Amino acid sequence: MFTDLNQELLEVKDNMRKKAKYEEHIERLNTYLTEEKRKKYQLESLLEKEEEDVARLERFTLTSVFYSMIGKKTEKLDQEQKEVLAAKLKYTEAIETIEDVEQELAEFRALLAPVVNAPVRYQTIIREKERLIQDSDSIWSVKLYELADKEADLQTNRTMKRLVPVI
C-alpha cells in the first residue's frame, strides 16, 4: 500500500511541476496575445489611413489636381499604393501571429487540463499516508513519512533532470 502511494506521490509531484510550468507559459502567452492584439488594431488604423490616401489621390480632389499639374500624380499614387501593400502585409502578419498564439494557448490549456487538480490529489495522498502511518503501531511512523516524502522529491528531481523540457 505504501509503495503504491509513494509511486502515485511521485507522479502527482511531477504533475504539480508541469502544472506550474504550463500556467506560467499560459500567462506569458496571454500577455503576448494582448500586446499583439493592440498592435493589430494600430496596424488596422494605419492600413485604413493608407487606403484613404490612395482613394484621395484617385478622386478628383485638390491634392489630386495639384499632383496632376506638376506631373507627379502617378508617382505619388504608386508610392501610396506601396504603402498600402506594406501596411496590409504587416496587418496580415499580426493576424497570423494572433492566430498562432491562440493555437498555442489552446494546446497549453489542453496540456494543463489533466494536471490542474494535482495539488488536490497531492493533499489526498498525503492525508492517506498520514492515516496509514497513524494507524500503524510502529515507533518509526514519523521517520517513515519523512523518508517517503524525501524519496519522492529525489525521484522526481532525478526524473526531471533526464527529461528535456518541451516548453
Q: What is the pLDDT of residues 59-112, one digit of tens each?
A: 666 665 655 656 666 777 788 889 999 999 999 999 999 999 999 999 999 999
What is the C-alpha to C-alpha distance for residues 26 and 113, in angstroms, rounded to an integer? 12
Taking the CA atoms of 107, 110, 111 and 117 in sequence, report the sign of the dihedral they define: positive
Q: Cell triple for residue 84?
A: 498600402
Task: Decide if 141 is inside a domain.
Answer: yes
Task: Decide if 167 is inside a domain.
Answer: no
Burial of 12 (0-12, 13-18, 19+ CB in 10 A): buried
What is the C-alpha to C-alpha distance for residues 127 and 122, in angstroms, rounded to an integer? 9
pTM value is 0.66
Residue 17 reports pLDDT greater than 90: yes
Mean pLDDT computed over 21-44:
97
Residue with the three cell numbers 492525508 = 127
Mean pLDDT computed over 133-152:
70
- Considering the chain, what is the average pLDDT of its residues? 84
pLDDT at 136: 59
Q: Higher-confidence residue: 56 or 95?
A: 95
Residue 139 reports pLDDT greater than 60: no
pLDDT at 55: 82
Number of domains in the chain: 1
Task: Decide if 43 is inside a domain.
Answer: yes
Residue 165 reports pLDDT greater than 70: no
Is residue 3 very low, low, confident or very high in pLDDT (cuts 50, 70, 90)? confident
Domain that holds residue 53: 2-162
**CB 49 within 8 Å of CB 83:** no
Task: Decide if 22 is inside a domain.
Answer: yes
- Nearest to residue 46, comparing CAs of 7, 86, 78, 18? 86
